[in-house]
Structure 1
Amino acid sequence: MSDATRARLVEWISRHRRYGSVLVVMLLVGLGLAALHHLTRSIRLADVTAAFHAIDRGQVAIALALTIASYLALTVYDVLALRIVGRPLPWRTAAMASFTSYTLSHNLGLALLTGGSARYRIYTRAGLDGPDVARIVAIAGATFWMGVMAVTGAALVLHRGALVLGDVTLGATMAQLAGLAILIGIVLLILLCSFGPRRIGWRGWSVPLPSGGQALAQIGVATIDLAAASAALFVLIPGADRALLPLFILAYALAIVAALISHVPGGIGVFEAVVLAAVPVDRTALFAALIAYRVLYYLVPLALGIVLLVLHEGQRRHPNTFRGAQQVATGIAPLLMSAATFGGGAVLLLSSALPAIPARLHDLSRVVPLPFIEASHFASSLVGTGLLLLAPGLYRRLDGALVATRALLVAGAAFSLFKGIDYEEAIVCLTIAGLLHYTRDAFYRRTALVARPLSPAWLASIAVVVAVSIWVGFFSYKRVGYSDQLWWEFGTRDDPSRFLRASLGAGVVLAAAACWRLFLPAPARPGDRAREEEVLAVLTQAERTDAMLALTGDKRFLFSPDGSAFVMYQVRGSSWIVMADPVGAREAWADLLWQLRALADAAQGRLLLYQISAEVLEIAIEMGLQIIKYGEEAIVDLHRFTIETGVKRSLRHAVRKLGREGAVFALVPAAEVSALMPELAHVSDQWVTAKRHREKGFSLGRFDAHYLSHFDCAVVRVEGHIVAFANVWRTADRGELSVDLMRHANDAPSGVMDFLFVELMQWGKAQGYARFNLGLAPLSGIEGRRLAPAWAKAAALLFRHGERFYGFRGLRAYKEKYAPDWAPRYIAGPGGLSLLRALRDLNLLIGRPRLMPGWGGETQRRADGVAAE
């Protein structure tokens, strides 16, 4: 396979891997539901209902007590993790973070996105930073897996006889040997923690290892958690033999592992299938116990966790009063209302798949015509599907999603009453609608609902809900003889027909939504193109040479109302990334950046300012962005520049040596550069091949004839042939001189770039230029002191020891030869995980530049044109 083919394949996989993950989740859900169908083929819904009602209050009370014990043990996960990272906090804080995190991740899956976000929100307010929170999440996860392995190993060793998992049988000897191997691994891990290294890391990020005693505590706490959680399910099984408890705990641990590995949200279907396959008890009773367990261990703690999170927000903003409750609710509304709407849609779909309560339906049929009942049942499934599709819009704060969701919820409440007097569902729908109205101020973005496709996570969640509702329907009516006639049967007892029609309606709505998005025109983003003469006019006022990056052809532009300034940026994913300072009249800078932030916010994006100078810091701070020092820029004062000093001995030697070897410097005017383009291209190709690089963009120029034709070109010739070149950036006021694209041929003499720089600086000094910009030294000048933030410590560590990845120290040392002054450069962006995502998008943007379709056409006209956004 050629390098080009391999690169295209890697890029294609990278572009589609998220949707590939959706397909994998859907496949796993399908396999889990297929296994459930096989395991429950002899179970009837009526028997499950009877077994569910047979669970008495005493069993429920014990299960609730064990659930509380399990979640209390989960809070100790975080207590231990905080001690291991050396940042202990009060138990109340750790318990709040742990409980809200686990209730969200247990139910919704996507642990880093849901549970990780809850932890980050609470711990950062307690004084921790992002890397510390990441370490806590990693250590808590390791605690859980250590407990799972310990429980599994002990259960396999103690289990007598063969281990049967559905159609798979593991012999008694093999099971005990596997358990013994697991326990030996646990012992070795404890010894490693006792006598091994104190930290482990990768690429500058490290996690402290626990001591031997702490590792034992982790295993003990995790064992208590798993034992209590599994016992909470065990006590719900009517007439379960206590002798089966060790095997049951083993089956529970295996089911948890399978659910986590599958990445199915909440492990739904997968968890139940493993437990049903592994536990040799009456499957009808076990299935009923699993349903009750879902409610007690998952849904009840989720509701409590949401309430605690709301109270925590309220106490933070108004610690001594209940004033401002609406503002508190509005602040967390997008996430909670999105989840609630998604849950409401799931309830309506599941209800459409289950039989109506006969007594209620009989009473309803006396006052409501049968066609109206049938239509309400069908419409209820459509409303449920619509709510699933609208939930992502609420998460993105869209006002259109608010209006449509409220209307569907009210309609869903009415349809629930008219299809079977399902007042419970109606109460749920009306409650969610009321909360949406109460928090309506949170949904302010005037963006078309269809302007942005559903994310892979939402696609997977919708697929899971629809698949589960269909499976529930077929499980409920498994004794029905399916035929074409069922589609056309209408009667108060024809629940299977209503289920089929409701499922078809949901499928049609989903297919219509998919086709709608498929055939939508690509959304026009602001500032796709700009007229070149507009950009060139503003560049005449530039004070910094990096403003010339506006001509690389991979930027978007936002102009000030009078056209005297612009900000250049690009959109990658959800990140709106600004390159350097705004260009032009300084009085317009603040308005430009605020307007661009409004555009990014309206598009559900995040704003990142890259390589800004100290002049922009005040604006960035006012915008509430997090400031990070990125490095330092080397500035040579040309008025004082000379190589006739001791510290510049190496430069003086290089210039004189190249002069003796016949090297000649020349500055080719921009008008004559086109004639040299074939020779420059030859040198550039040699450089790219030798360095094994590929052209980059956004923050760097690329070899492009149109781009290079804008600038003078500094060349070095030997025997009449160009061996090195660099395009020259210079400001109109002669304040700054610099170079961008620097290339040399394979046969260029050693020191040729030093020769080029010195000659260009001397030329600039003679022409009256004030300074020469040697460019940035990333991570330079960042001190990782003991009390410095974690990002500063990581940057300092990477600068000192990261030469394997990038020549940080070498680049700084090279530029030091010119005795420059160092000026700081910064990155300003959102806080938390959003900053990491923005930096990832920045890296992709530089490594895979997006060239614009050429100059000309429409641009984002003026900043005053987006004020209404």
Structure 2
Amino acid sequence: MRRLYHPQPRSAQARIAAELSLAQAALAEAGPQLDPDPTPAEIRAAQVSARAAAQGDARPSWLRVAKRQAIALGLVVLFAGLLHKKLAALDTEAILTALGAVSLGQWALAGLATLGSFLALAQYDALIHRALATRVAPERARRAGWTAIAISQTVGFGLVSGALVRWRMLPGLSLVEASKLAATVAATFLAGWAVLSAGALIVLPQAVPALAPAQVQGLALAALGGLGALALAGLWAPGLRLGRVVLRLPSLPVMARILWLTVLDTAFAAAALWVLLPAGDAMPFTTLFPAFLLALGAGFVSGTPGGVGPFEVALLTLLPGTEGPSVLAAILAWRAVYYGAPAALAIAVVAFARPGTDAPAERRLVAPAPRLTPRLTALIVADRQAELGLMWQGEHGALLSSDLHGGWMIGRTPQALVGLLDPFGTAEAATLLPDLRRAARAEGRIGCLYKIDARTAVAARRAGWVVAPVALECQIDPRAFSLETPARAGLRRKLRKAAKTGLVTELACGPLPLAELGAVAAAWAQARGGERGFSMGRFTPDYIAHQEVVIARLGGRIVGFASFHATRASWVLDLMRPAPDAPDGTMQALIHTAIEAARSAGVAKFSLAALPPEATRVEGPGALIWRRAEAQAGATGLRQFKMSFAPSLAPRYIAAPSRAALALAAADIARAIHRPAPLAQSPAPRESRPTPPLRARWRELAARSRS
């Protein structure tokens, strides 16, 4: 038995006008304090307030800093003693003679190599500013970065001096934020150095005291394997917990950029030393580079100013066949070029520069918010894609077009910035693709498109993106739907079986029984190890209250429900939640009732959502998303369930700028779907979002009857 509500027909113009009025009126109650499009003055006020609170809550422990620097000073004394023993057997006059023999050309080449190194290391700060979303312009980030590094690597006390210089050069940052930035830059360099050193020792074996080159290669290979396994673990499980420490690794694109910058930085720094060696003691660069990396690491970890002591001891030990005076003379010259000159220039910049402020950037990439702006809400409600209702989950944002009359729903994974579905409003894919790619790069992510139709896929391919099929959307025309076809014989049997049990299905037109629906959803999630996410909705009372919902009852008790993204023109299946004891055929009965309700409402398109294509029929990286899912229990049953309605199948695609990017994005989307991050608790009341069309119409009639 089915109870359906039949709304009165309305003109298309009146329907759209009513829908937009409802959205604007509901969201007008949000108030300026929750407006996700604040003015520049409001942004600056909020930043000042947040930074003041951060400084109050995160005061540095000066005792801990003092202890750390005391250890560094102790290491200086220790290595000075070790270096003194090595220098005792050397001729000081020979060192000065070798230093005087450095030609003008060598000084010039060393200066150029130093410039190359600092151009690379300045990018560390620009990269970290992007990752931390500080909104500092890249030019200012690079200038503050190289001045901070030039001074801190020379005077020592790296974290403290580096933080103070960045704080001076970037007045928009608090001291706490500058300290966090300095620590992050140091950690990224150390991580890049570790990977590069291990790789260099494998390719260019280096003799180490008490270890043969083959043993050094084995240790380097083990270290590289461990670091690689850690990176992969961070890819599959962001926020990896190691004991009491939560490890949050940057995205793989950011890791790759860090490693490349480390290669450039250290290679130019080693070249600056290499060109200063006397011709008689010249050695292949491939011999010096691995020894230089190990010596640089020893100096960096020790924390001594400029690595003085540990660097010299390590380099002289690792290059035993060289003449001591000539090598020390080259190191002294190198320190003058690579440490002294940049530090003097940086001090002048810090003393006389007048740091400016960054103008607020155009806010076209809208972050997820409890309440969307009236403009964005109106665009979503009026669009042909009902599945844009996924934005009411509060997990996704939007990339708006330059005229703000359209955009793209945007999802984020640790590795990718994903344009979900097709552009909405008047936006065109060809216009938004460059914007999406730039936004992804600015966040250290891969640009990607997911579940796009054929038209958008063509635009992506023309832009040079790699495109692959990823899903099939199951579509039904409710106006032409009939059970009396051979293809739906199995569906008829399921419906008869459910009817014999006394199952009743109904479209919810009044207030939803959220407590009962929540209990069914919780039991379903517990039985299946949790809900899917990202491109699939998850049950929350606030979310489902703004969907069309069909409920199944047995003896008055709810035994299942299905919810739908709904507009005046289309419905899309979202949640299917049967109770553990739901009779066979319950879900088929729910969908059939929804189809009849959509037909009564004049809906032209009804979608059973996406169905993974059979992996054997898919080629390329796109198959990675669903190949594993197809092997899991339930995939075959889901296909049989949806195909019992004999839908027409429309292909959906995934796209990315390259094949490697497509494979990485596909794997990360698969992880985000099967292991979604917890949803943020939204304080927004349900009335701040549009009510689905049929329930809105029911409220209208109920209000009229009361009056």
TM-score of the aligned structures, taking structure 1 as reference length: 0.43
Could you say which residue in structure 2 is the equivalent of 1:679?
A: 516
- Does residue 503 of structure 2 align to residue 663 of structure 1? yes
Report if the CA contact (8 A) 2:468-2:620 is conserved.
Answer: no
Aligned equivalents of 2:290 and 2:430: distance in 1?
Answer: 57
- Does residue 329 of structure 2 align to residue 288 of structure 1? yes
Aligned equivalents of 1:277 and 1:234: distance in 2?
Answer: 20
Alignment deviations for residues 372-410 of structure 1 (CA, whole Å, 9 cap, x no partner): xxxxx9635646xx79xx9xxxxxxxxx79xxxxxxxxx
Distance 1:798 1:625, change over 3 A: closer
Aligned equivalents of 1:833 and 1:754: distance in 2?
Answer: 40
Determine which of 525, 530, 542 is the counterpart of 1:693: 530
The CA deviation at 1:682 is 0.8
Alignment deviations for residues 386-437 of structure 1 (CA, whole Å, 9 cap, x no partner): 79xx9xxxxxxxxx79xxxxxxxxxxxxxxxxxxxxxxxxxxxxxxxxxxxx
Report if the CA contact (8 A) 1:695-1:703 is conserved.
Answer: no
Aligned equivalents of 2:662 and 2:678: distance in 1?
Answer: 20
Report if the CA contact (8 A) 1:610-1:827 is conserved.
Answer: yes
Report if the CA contact (8 A) 2:550-2:593 is conserved.
Answer: no
Determine which of 343, 350, 359 is the counterpart of 1:350: 343
Could you say which residue in structure 2 is the equivalent of 1:405?
A: none
Alignment deviations for residues 107-133 of structure 1 (CA, whole Å, 9 cap, x no partner): 75999x99xxxxxxxxxxxxxxxxxxx
Q: Aligned to 1:854, what secondary structure does the other structure show?
A: coil
Counterpart of 1:725, as a letter, is F
Aligned equivalents of 1:690 and 1:795: distance in 2?
Answer: 29
- Does residue 110 of structure 2 align to residue 276 of structure 1? no
Distance 1:627 1:381, change over 3 A: same
Could you say which residue in structure 2 is the equivalent of 1:581?
A: 422
Alignment deviations for residues 120-157 of structure 1 (CA, whole Å, 9 cap, x no partner): xxxxxxxxxxxxxxxxxxxx999865544xx45xx68x
Could you say which residue in structure 1 is the equivalent of 2:550?
A: 714
Could you say which residue in structure 2 is the equivalent of 1:363?
A: none
Counterpart of 2:595, as a letter, is M
The CA deviation at 1:204 is 14
Q: How does 1:850-861 map to 2 (within 5 A)?
A: 850=680, 854=684
Q: Aligned to 2:646, what secondary structure does the other structure show?
A: coil
Counterpart of 2:328, as a letter, is F
- Does residue 564 of structure 2 align to residue 723 of structure 1? no
Report if the CA contact (8 A) 1:731-1:737 is conserved.
Answer: yes
Report if the CA contact (8 A) 1:535-1:550 is conserved.
Answer: no
Distance 1:381 1:563, change over 3 A: closer
The CA deviation at 1:685 is 1.4
Distance 1:633 1:279, change over 3 A: same
Report if the CA contact (8 A) 1:634-1:776 is conserved.
Answer: yes
Report if the CA contact (8 A) 1:633-1:824 is conserved.
Answer: yes
- Does residue 659 of structure 2 align to residue 825 of structure 1? no
Determine which of 554, 558, 577 is the counterpart of 1:743: 577
Could you say which residue in structure 1 is the equivalent of 2:348?
A: 379
Aligned equivalents of 1:797 and 1:549: distance in 2?
Answer: 24
Counterpart of 2:645, as a letter, is Y
Determine which of 525, 535, 539 is the counterpart of 1:703: 539
The CA deviation at 1:709 is 1.9
Counterpart of 2:511, as a letter, is E
Alignment deviations for residues 580-639 of structure 1 (CA, whole Å, 9 cap, x no partner): 23444xx45579948975994997787654433234456656777665544322223445
- Does residue 610 of structure 2 align to residue 776 of structure 1? yes
Q: Determine what percentage of the aligned residue pairs are the same residue.
A: 24
Q: How does 1:769-808 map to 2 (within 5 A)?
A: 769-778=603-612, 793-796=620-623, 799-800=626-627, 803=630
Q: Aligned to 1:722, what secondary structure does the other structure show?
A: strand
The CA deviation at 1:548 is 2.2
Report if the CA contact (8 A) 1:554-1:570 is conserved.
Answer: yes
Q: How does 1:105-504 map to 2 (within 5 A)?
A: 146-148=202-204, 151=205, 163=209, 170=210, 175=211, 236=277, 256=293, 269=307, 273-279=313-319, 284-290=325-331, 348-351=341-344, 379=348, 382=351, 447=359
The CA deviation at 1:678 is 0.8
Distance 1:46 1:637, change over 3 A: farther
Could you say which residue in structure 2 is the equivalent of 1:50?
A: 96
The CA deviation at 1:680 is 0.6
Q: RCO greater where, 1 or 2, for CA within 8 Å and sep 6 or more?
A: 2
Q: Aligned to 1:818, what secondary structure does the other structure show?
A: coil
Q: Unpaired runs of 5+ in structure 2? A: 1-64, 128-195, 222-231, 237-266, 690-707
Determine which of 358, 367, 383 is the counterpart of 1:542: 383
Q: Aligned to 2:523, what secondary structure does the other structure show?
A: helix
The CA deviation at 1:546 is 0.7
Counterpart of 1:847, as a letter, is A
Determine which of 442, 453, 456 is the counterpart of 1:613: 453
Distance 1:646 1:203, change over 3 A: farther
Report if the CA contact (8 A) 1:447-1:603 is conserved.
Answer: no
Report if the CA contact (8 A) 2:399-2:436 is conserved.
Answer: no
Report if the CA contact (8 A) 1:613-1:824 is conserved.
Answer: yes
Counterpart of 2:526, as a letter, is T
Alignment deviations for residues 92-118 of structure 1 (CA, whole Å, 9 cap, x no partner): xxxxxxxx9xx989975999x99xxxx
Distance 1:687 1:650, change over 3 A: same
- Does residue 684 of structure 2 align to residue 847 of structure 1? no
Counterpart of 1:747, as a letter, is D
- Does residue 639 of structure 2 align to residue 815 of structure 1? no
Counterpart of 2:555, as a letter, is E
Distance 1:261 1:811, change over 3 A: farther
The CA deviation at 1:773 is 1.0
Counterpart of 1:286, as a letter, is V
The CA deviation at 1:749 is 3.6
The CA deviation at 1:816 is 3.5
Could you say which residue in structure 1 is the equivalent of 2:586?
A: 752
The CA deviation at 1:705 is 2.1
Counterpart of 1:667, as a letter, is L
Aligned equivalents of 1:595 and 1:234: distance in 2?
Answer: 43
Counterpart of 1:579, as a letter, is L
Distance 1:238 1:742, change over 3 A: same
Q: Aligned to 2:620, what secondary structure does the other structure show?
A: helix
Q: Aligned to 1:276, what secondary structure does the other structure show?
A: helix
Q: How does 1:18-57 map to 2 (within 5 A)?
A: 34=76, 39-40=82-83, 50=96, 52-53=98-99
Q: Unpaired runs of 5+ in structure 1? A: 1-22, 65-99, 115-139, 157-162, 164-169, 187-200, 206-225, 300-342, 353-376, 391-399, 402-445, 453-521, 785-791, 860-869
The CA deviation at 1:778 is 4.7
Aligned equivalents of 2:517 and 2:403: distance in 1?
Answer: 39
Aligned equivalents of 1:605 and 1:182: distance in 2?
Answer: 32
Q: Aligned to 2:521, what secondary structure does the other structure show?
A: helix
Counterpart of 2:99, as a letter, is H
Alignment deviations for residues 229-268 of structure 1 (CA, whole Å, 9 cap, x no partner): 99x979947987x9xx99x99998576568689999xxx9
Counterpart of 1:796, as a letter, is A
The CA deviation at 1:545 is 2.2
Report if the CA contact (8 A) 1:251-1:278 is conserved.
Answer: no
Structure 1 vs Structure 2 CA RMSD: 6.5
Distance 1:801 1:839, change over 3 A: closer
